[in-house]
Structure 1
Amino acid sequence: MDKINRLFKTNSVEEILENLKEDSSPFALQNLETLKKMSPTSMKITFQQLREGATKNLTEVLVMEYRLSQSCMRGHDFYEGVRAEY
């Protein structure tokens, strides 16, 4: 748990990636490789969602989730991600 907190409790996705690189343990490198395959936009949205959601009640989180989902579907990235999976 200490390692997870040290590596992931940061102010940005970029800091997480840097922490994983610097740590270079098998755990860190495996997670770094996984994160490198992910959409940078989605990672940043999720990161911000987790930070903001921690201070909201359930109703507020559900509203936030709904608004984010609708916003993401207005762009082409969501549809391209779905298309690329299949």
Structure 2
Amino acid sequence: MRRRATLHFFIAASNFGAVFWITRSVNVPINNELAAWNPAAPPANWAEARDLWNHSNVVRTVAAALSFAGAAAILAPRPLAGGSR
């Protein structure tokens, strides 16, 4: 049981790390770049930036969901050995 909880902990922690890394390395730099753009005259490659942001956000969302599932699995009640009484 402890081994299973440890496994779920590492799944949750690694996916949380992925969420943090994607946010810090991809989404935030794109957001900072977008903040400097003139809304009336966006650069020619604005669609590429949008597509990259959207793709990384999908990956980040999946990693966040897996992190949540791993954490929830740690906290989920387990049946007692030998059946319930």
TM over 0.5: no
Structure with higher RCO (Cα < 8 A, 6+ apart): 2
State TM-score, norm by structure 1: 0.33
Q: Which has the higher helix share?
A: 1
Larger Rg: 2
